[in-house]
Each structure stands twice: as structure tokens, then as C-alpha cells.
Structure 1
Amino acid sequence: MANLKEVKSRISSVTSTQQITKAMKMVAAAKLRRAQDRIIQMRPYASKLATILSNVSSGVEDDLAGIYSVEREVNNVLIVVITSDKGLCGAFNSNAIKAGLTLIKEKYQAQKDNVHILPIGRKANEYFTKRGYNVISDYSDLFSHLSFEEVRAAAEFAMNGFKSGDFDRIELVYNEFKNIATQILRKEQFLPIEKIETSEEESATAIDYIYEPSKEVILEELIPKSLKVQFYKALLESNASEHGARMTAMDKATENAGELLKELRLTYNRTRQAAITKEILEIVGGAEALASE
């Protein structure tokens, strides 16, 4: 059985850890509130923009739909893996990385040597760099100053790479925010734009827009904007998911520290009681020995 000094030292250590996890939970909760507000405000805009794009582009010729819809033989692939810059958020980062690896294995094993990784978040950058993947780390620190202007540069890099033929397909891997305790892993094709099949009834009920100056000009402006918004939305989803995952992980760590403290205090009391009993027995034994003399 451990002595009193060792148990007391462990109690002090666990108490300090519990205070840290409580503080980290509170910080994550404050950051989550802001991140959640941003993604909730972004979702209706992104959804409406996607709906307008779908209505405008439905029924147009392939050449009018633009370079972003061109299907090519897949030789070079860019996979954008979005994680966080820090740990202590449960399986948040490892799940996103595993999803990226699974995507390569199941879908692009034949093009494995020509798969490029665009990591966003320090954890993804460190993982894929250490393992010798073709990593483009120019935009790995976007979460340190997350804004549409910064994210737009990364989106334009991917879009320009597709336009120039450097990449034949671009995929996004990220965690979608559902609630504090739940994050949904998403693997989405970013480019080329997947064509949406519409039924005759849907085509008949589609909104008839008046185009000014022309449908071609509208599509040239709308498609790139929609792609950048989609890219930005993925980062906002991941950012909110990260804080939710960290808040949950720190809450669980705080609870576990509380359970450990209960056990340690029980051990401390038992050890102390045993020590007191031993001292009493020694005193009684000594008194009896003196009396027998």
C-alpha cells in the first residue's frame, strides 16, 4: 500500500489537472459559441447560393457550365484534409486523417504516387509530412487567422490547379458540426462540379430567371464564388466541430479526474487509518510490556 506522502502528492497532482481541464472546457465553450454562430449564419447563405447555382446551371450546355465541370481522366488528385492546430480534442484530428487515408486507399490507390495533400491545420500537416506524402503546406495555418480573405487564397489555389490541369480531381475531407457531442465526417468532391440530375417535374418547376447582362456572364461570376463559399463553409464547419470536440473531451477528462480523486481520497483515508491503528497497537503493546515487568 502506498504511503501517505505518495497518495497526498497524487491527490494534489490530479486536483491541478482537474482545474486545468475545467479551464480548458470553459475556454472551448466560449470559442464554440462564436464558431457556432458563424457557421449557423453561413449555412443559409451557402445553401441559397448552391440552390441558385443549381437552378441557373440546369439545362445549360457543358461548355457554358465552365472549366470547373470538365471531367478528365484522373491521374493527379488533390485531397484537402482539414484538422485543427492543437490536440486535446478527442478523436477529432485522428478521424479526419483516417478518413483521408481511407479515401486514398479505396478510391485513389492506383494514383497513390500522384496524390497530393493540402493540409489545413497543423496536425494534418505534421502527420502527412512525416510520412512522406506529397504535401502542399502553404495554407496549413489558416486557423490562426480564419477569415474569408485568407481562405479564398487557398480555394483559388485549388481552383487554379484544376483549371491548369495540375489536378484532375479535388476532394475535401472535414468534420461537419452537428452539435457539441457529434461531428459528422464528410468526404466531398470539390472539383469537378458534380452534375445534379433533375427530373422532368423539377425542371418544369425550376425558377425562370431574367439574366442581366447574360447567362454566360452570370455563370462565370457565380460558379467561382460558390466554390469559394463552399470551401470556406468546410473550414467553418471544422472549426466549430473542433471546439465542440474539445469541450466534450475536457468535460469527460474533468469527470474522470473527479472519479480518480474519490478513489485516491478513499485510499488516503484507509492508509491514514491503518497508520493510526498501527501506532495505537504499538503504544498498547509497549504499555503491556511495561506492565508485565
Structure 2
Amino acid sequence: MSNTTASLGRQIDSAVELQSVVRTMKALAASSIGQYEQAVRALADYADSVELGLSVCIRSAAAAHLITADSATPVEGAIGALVFGSDQGLVGQFNDVVADHAGEALAGLSPPPMIWAVGERVQARLADAGLSLTGSFAVPQSVTGITALVANILMASEAHISAGDIGGLYLFYNQLSPEGGYGPVSHRVLPLDGCWRRKLAERTWPTDKLPEVIGTSTATLQALIREYLFVSLFRACAESLASENASRLAAMQRADSNIDQLLEEFRVTFHRVRQAEIDEELFDVIAGFEALPREF
């Protein structure tokens, strides 16, 4: 089907509308990145307070044995894994990257790991990799939704930990890199390893007023560990969402550039076809004029 000025005009209008949508998505993705990065920074002070509290508790010989475990020591029982991905598309290789990273770490483990996926897209990627899922969660659409997600994750994981179904909990997610872009990372949050405990125990208290644990050190320690888990899960989710929007921003930038190129091709073709139509009309006029009988 040959191009006409009418059909090319419609194609140009459609491309312009699509570019408007792409640029709106670019703006939303860019603003979302800053929103989630700010949430991670805001969490830093609270995380520091939790770690200070833990540093006091784990100095107690009675409580130290509850959380000590070497990084190199194999975790007894099945491993629990939480993989953060996306519910929505247009994010490039975002879900593939984190799913491949988790698949390499979890494949072939015995007993089989218990895996929870955050996001429908990454859930499908994990299933394609042959990993069976214990459950899934929806990705929050804003910073305010992260707290509810973390609460649901804690409820699900604590039930299995209490029942002895899992002996450790690992997080897999994408994290923004200083050089730009993002990359997959993994983090063991349970059991808390001995190296991490020793670093906290050696931490200097920021004031000359030495702290004192009120009540039983075990109860206080358990409460602080729960807050540590909350901070770890919140940070992982926020960083994953920031990376998701960074990937979407990059995809939209490529789409915007491609649409610009396509529009330029459409406009060049439109002007060429329009000029051909004008020339054809002129030739018809000239031919008609020359066919008129001449009177002398």
C-alpha cells in the first residue's frame, strides 16, 4: 500500500501522541527514583539507632548466643529467599537480571529453598528458571505502600521460622550503582553472622552516658532484631523500586530517541510525497492547458 499524505499525517499524529506518553512516563520515572532514594536516606538515621541498640544488647553474654552464626557456617534447614522484581513491564532486563542472580544462588540446594517473589514479572522469570515459589507479593506503588508490604513479609517469614521450616533468610534485589544503572545484589539477614555481631559489639557509644537495657536483654534483643529486619526489608524494597524506575527511565529514553528518528523519517517522506502530488497536479494542469484548442 503506497503512502499518501493523509496516511502519513495520521502516522505522524500517532507518533507524536505516543511520544507524549513516553515523555510523561520518563518524567514519572525520574521523579520516582528521587522519591525512593530519599526514603532510603531517611531510613539511615533510624537504622543507625537500631544498630546502636543492638550493639548494647549483644554485649550481654547471655544474649549473644541467640544471634551468633558464622558467615561461612551452612544454614541448617531450608533457605528462605525473597526476590524483588516488578509488576509492570517496560523495564528492560530488570527482572531477568535479578531472577538470573537468584537462580544461580538457589539452584540445586537441598533441601529446596522456600522462595517468595515480589512482583508478577519476576515470578514468571523464576518459574521459567525451574524454581518453585512458596508465595508472592504485589509491588507497592509508592513509598507509603512499602511499610504494609514489609509487614506482610515479616508475618509470612516469621510463621515459617517459628515452625522450623526455614533456617535462614536471604534477600535478592537490584540496587542502583554509583556509576549509573543498576546491578543485582544479595544479602543474608538471618541468621545474623558473627562478623556483623563483633563489629556492632565494638562500636563506640556516641555519648558519655552509657546505655542500660531495661527489662530482660533477650526480649529487648528480639524486639531490636525485628526492627533490624524491618529496616533491611524496607531498604531492599526501596532500592529495588528505585532501580526499577531507573530501568524504566532508560527504556523510555531509548523509546523517545527512536520516536524522534521515526518522526523525522515520516516528515521527510511526507514532504517528498506532498511535493510529488503537487508536481503531479501541475503536470495535469499543464497537460490540460496544452490539450486546449488554440485560436489564432
Return the TM-score normalized by structure 1: 0.79
Do residues 216 (structure 1) and 223 (structure 2) align? no
- Indicate which of 260, 263, 266 corresponds to 2:262: 260
Q: Residues 82, 64 of structure 1: CA spacing in aligned structure 2 closer, same or farther, 3 A cutoff?
A: same
Query: Tell me, which stretches of 5 or more residues in structure 1 are unaligned?
Result: none
Q: Quick check: 1:77–1:169 contact (8 Å CA) kept in 2?
A: yes
Q: CA deviation at 1:261?
A: 0.9
Supply the distance in 2 between the matched residues of 1:198 and 1:40 (Cα, whole angstroms): 23
Residue range with higher mean Cα deviation, 214-223 or 17-26? 214-223
SS of residue in 2 equivalent to 1:273: helix
The amino acid that maps onto 2:25 is M
In the alignment, structure 1 residue 243 sits paired with structure 2 residue 245? yes
Q: Where is the helix percentage greater, Structure 1 or Structure 2?
A: 1
1:75-86 aligned within 5 A = 76-86=78-88
2:138 alignment counterpart = 141
- 1:3 pairs with 2:1: no
Q: Secondary structure at the match of 1:211?
A: coil
**Structure 2 CA distance for partners of 1:197 and 1:16, relative to 1, 3 Å:** closer
SS at match of 1:168: strand
Distance in 1 separating the partners of 2:20 and 2:229: 43
Deviations 1:112-135 (A, max 9, x none): x71332011222234435666321
Q: 8 Å contact 1:72–1:168 — kept in the other structure?
A: no
Amino acid at match of 2:40: I
Q: Which amino acid aligns with 1:220?
A: Q
SS at match of 2:165: coil
Instruction: Map Cα deviations across residues 7-46 of structure 1 (whole Å, 9 max, x no partner).
Output: 2232122111111112222333444443333222113322
Residues 36-75 of structure 1: CA deviation (Å, up to 9, x unaligned)? 33222113322442355356436857x7342684855555
Question: 1: distance between equivalents of 2:249 and 2:182?
Answer: 12
The alignment of Structure 1 onto Structure 2 pairs a total of residues equal to: 285
Residues 46 and 226 in structure 1, CA contact (< 8 A), matched pair in contact too: yes
The structure-2 alpha-carbon separation of the partners of 1:217 and 1:117, relative to structure 1 and needing over 3 Å to count, comes to: closer
Judging changes above 3 Å, is the alpha-carbon distance between structure 1 residues 15 and 82 closer, same or farther for their aligned structure 2 residues? Answer: same
Aligned partner of 1:225 in structure 2 is 227
Q: Which amino acid aligns with 2:66?
A: G
The one-letter amino acid paired with 1:166 is D
Q: How does 1:144-183 map to 2 (within 5 A)?
A: 146-177=145-176, 182-183=181-182
Residue identity opposite 2:64 in structure 1: L
Cα distance change of structure 1 residues 291 and 53 upon mapping to structure 2, 3 Å threshold: farther
Residues 29, 245 of structure 2: 8 Å contact kept: yes
The code of the aligned residue for 2:271 comes to: N
TM-score (norm 2): 0.78
Does residue 121 (structure 1) correspond to residue 119 (structure 2)? The answer is yes
State whether residues 67 and 193 of structure 2, in contact with CA within 8 Å, keep that contact through their aligned partners in structure 1: no
Q: What SS does the aligned partner of 2:232 have?
A: helix
Answer with 244-253 or 114-123: which moved more.
244-253
Preserved contact between residue 80 and residue 113 of structure 2 (Cα < 8 Å): yes
